[in-house]
Structure 1
Amino acid sequence: MRIATYNVNGINGRLPRLLEWLEETRPDVACLQELKAPQEKFPEAALEKAGYGAVWVGMPRWHGVALLARGCEPVETRRELPGDPNDAQARYVEAAVNGVLIGCLYLPNGNPQPGPKFDYKLAWMKRLNDYAAELLGAQVPAVLAGDYNVVPTDFDIYNTRSWLDNALLQPEARQAYAALLDQGWTDALRHLYPDGRIYTFWDYFRNAYARDAGLRIDHFLLSPELVPMLKACGVDRDVRGREGASDHAPAWIELNR
């Protein structure tokens, strides 16, 4: 079972790139972030033609998440992160696919910091940690996949020099991410490649992709039930170098199921 995550940075504007990647790699599940499209503008028909059922939460201009399943309809279980009924930002959708509960998330960026956007990021992470603990308590095979907007350690970035004030590297965000691991979740990419230089994001500026000036901010967290099934993972980094590409590359894991 191949599960992928991909921040598409505008699903309609980059639909040809998305469809191209789906055809090439055929993931069983694809978690998408930053749709930047209202609910009614999601390209459901094009994705259905490509062989994917979908659940999604859209939002005009900003945010938005979707979960695609190849050859079947994902069984939606949740379309918001619990803990704040007044939070209207489209950042979480969850569904069951082939016996695995998959949460697709787009964690707040938090810039500029300090300030209200960073406060919102930390509050959202607190809600995520609380809900993640509930999932572990239920002992269900679960994956929390998506754009976490957190660089877990200095090893996960090409160079910290120009990013020291960025919300992605702040100690509070890193501590919240580490707390998820302390609960019992496993960072899949780092589990299989503890010493690998793995990036999933390259800025559009300063020729970052060509220089491999990347960051690892797209993650898969696995519940204990799935860790023994993890057999492979990687990043389709060449997708980032294509014309009209997102500034993220798709990442993926493979589970023996």
Structure 2
Amino acid sequence: MRLATWNVNSIRARVARTVDFAVREHIDVLAMQEIKCKPEQFPYEAFEEAGYHVVAHGLSQWNGVAIASREPIEDVETAFPGMPGFAKDHDGPDAPLEARAIGATVGGVKVWSLYVPNGRALGDPHYTYKLHWLEALAAHTRATLAASPDLPLALVGDFNIAPTPADNGDPAVVEGFSTHVSPPERAAFADLEAAGLADVVRPLVPAGFTYWDYKRLRFPRNEGMRIDFILGSRALADAVTGAAIHRDERKGEIPSDHVPVVVDLDLASPDDDDDVPMIFG
């Protein structure tokens, strides 16, 4: 199975690019974020003509997530247990849920396409929401893997966190003053890993950014950030045979500001290949 994640930054504006990439790169499962449309507005036909099934979750022209797959999509969920909501000037546990998560089972793999809240600014209510959202995601991950320790589980998407200083090359994002690089955000990312997940791309692709701001020539100067990830359970990590960050997808006409991240999985064989880096210690 070839699994990919991509923040497409409006699927209706970039459907041709997205489908072309999926077909050209032989993607079996594509998790998308920031589709910016309701399900009834999603351009299903272009994907279906290319041989994909699609499930989408969106509530407005903001946020939104989707999964496209060549195999049947089963057990679809549009929120994980405990996922908090958010609305401006709305405090409390009954805040409306945003369209930031969609989970499904494909070929025996449980895949979550996730668009983690941005946080906006340190001290902003959206920053607190982001941390609560990540805390709930870690709790759900722990519970899932405690119940099914051999489950091939993939949490993929735009995490809006640069986990290490090397993952931030944007001079406008300053540690101590900006979101994405604050100690609490990085601790929340580490907590996800401690819940039983590993970044299954980094051992094979140790360097490289996945996002570049449209402004100030960030892409030509390679002043980007690594904020898009594929986090996998041990069962998924053991099946990884290859990985890539497709930097060239940031080029050309009307590109997204993010690029696809891809892993190859051999789910029929255990991880006994000495040529594949050990992902779990």
Residues 42-61 of structure 1: matches in 2 within 5 Å?
Answer: 42-61=42-61
* Greater Cα offset, 29-38 or 226-235: 226-235
Q: Does 1:131 align with 2:140?
A: yes
Residues 163-202 of structure 1: matches in 2 within 5 Å?
Answer: 163-164=174-175, 165-193=177-205, 196-202=206-212
2:253 is paired with a residue whose SS is coil
Gaps of 5+ in 2: 85-93, 268-281
Q: Does 1:213 align with 2:223?
A: yes
1:101 is paired with a residue whose SS is strand
Distance of 1:205 and 1:159 partners within structure 2? 11
Question: TM-score, normalization: structure 1?
Answer: 0.94
Deviation string, structure 1 residues 99-124 (Cα, Å, up to 9, x no partner):
11111100000012211110110110
Residues 1-257 of structure 1: matches in 2 within 5 Å?
Answer: 1-70=1-70, 72-83=71-82, 84=84, 86-137=95-146, 138-139=148-149, 140-158=151-169, 162-164=173-175, 165-193=177-205, 196-257=206-267
- Pairwise CA RMSD: 1.4
Deviation string, structure 1 residues 215-241 (Cα, Å, up to 9, x no partner):
110001110112221111111110111
1:215 is paired with a residue whose SS is coil
Offset at residue 212 of structure 1 (A):
1.1
Is the CA contact (8 Å cut-off) linking 1:239 and 1:245 kept in structure 2? yes
Letter matched to residue 73 of structure 1: P
Offset at residue 41 of structure 1 (A):
0.2
Offset at residue 174 of structure 1 (A):
0.5
Query: Would you say how many aligned residue pairs link Structure 1 and Structure 2?
Result: 254
Letter matched to residue 13 of structure 1: A
Distance of 1:149 and 1:87 partners within structure 2? 21
Offset at residue 87 of structure 1 (A):
3.5
Deviation string, structure 1 residues 6-40 (Cα, Å, up to 9, x no partner):
00000101112112212211211000000111221
Question: TM-score, normalization: structure 2?
Answer: 0.87
Distance 1:160 1:131, change over 3 A: farther
Offset at residue 192 of structure 1 (A):
2.6
Offset at residue 204 of structure 1 (A):
0.3
Distance of 1:87 and 1:186 partners within structure 2? 30
Deviation string, structure 1 residues 134-168 (Cα, Å, up to 9, x no partner):
12112211110110011001011225564332211
Offset at residue 180 of structure 1 (A):
1.3
* Greater Cα offset, 77-86 or 102-111: 77-86
2:162 is paired with a residue whose SS is coil
Offset at residue 81 of structure 1 (A):
2.2
Distance of 2:214 and 2:96 partners within structure 1? 30
